[in-house]
Amino acid sequence: MTKLRIFMGTAALVCAIVMVGSVQRAVAAGDEVSASDQYMVYCAKCHGPSGHGDGANASTLKTRPRNFADCATMKRISDDTMFKAIKDGGTAVNLPGDMPPWGQAFEDSEIKGLVTYVRTFCK
C-alpha cells in the first residue's frame, strides 16, 4: 500500500513537471508565432510574406520596400534603426513616409519582436 502511494505520488510529480515544461514551451513558441502573425497581418502586404519587398501593395508605393532577405544590406542596418522605423515610421530614419508608424499599434516589446522576426529573413 505505502509503495503504491509513493509510486502514485512520484507519478503525479513527474506529470506536473512535464506539464509545467510544456506550458513554458507553449508560451515561448507563442511569442514567436505572434511576431510572425503580426508580420503576416500588418507588414507582409508591403514587405512580402518572405520579406522580399514584393507584397501585394508594394507596386502602389512610391518606394519599393527593400529586400529583408539580402543579408549584405541588412547587416548595415542596426536594430535601433529598424526599431525606430517601425515605431515612428520611415521619416524618423530618413526613409520614405510610405513606411507607416506603428507606435500606436504595438508595444515596444512587440516592436522588438518584429525586428527579430525581420532579421530571420536573412539566412
User: Interface residues with ligand HEC (CB under 6 A)?
Assistant: 39, 42-43, 45-47, 57, 61, 63, 65-66, 77, 81-82, 85-86, 90, 93, 95-96, 98-100, 102, 114, 118
Nearer to ligand HEC, 9 or 104 (CB): 104
Nearest distance from residue 29's CB to ligand HEC, in Å?
20
Nearer to ligand HEC, 1 or 107 (CB): 107
Q: Which residues make Cβ contacts (< 8 Å) with residue 106, sequence separation at least 6?
A: 38, 86, 87, 114
Residue type for 107, please? E
Nearer to ligand HEC, 26 or 33 (CB): 33
Please answer whether residues 55 and 47 qualify as being in contact, where contact means their C-beta atoms are separated by less than 8 angstroms.
yes
CA-based torsion, 99, 41, 65, 68: positive or negative? positive
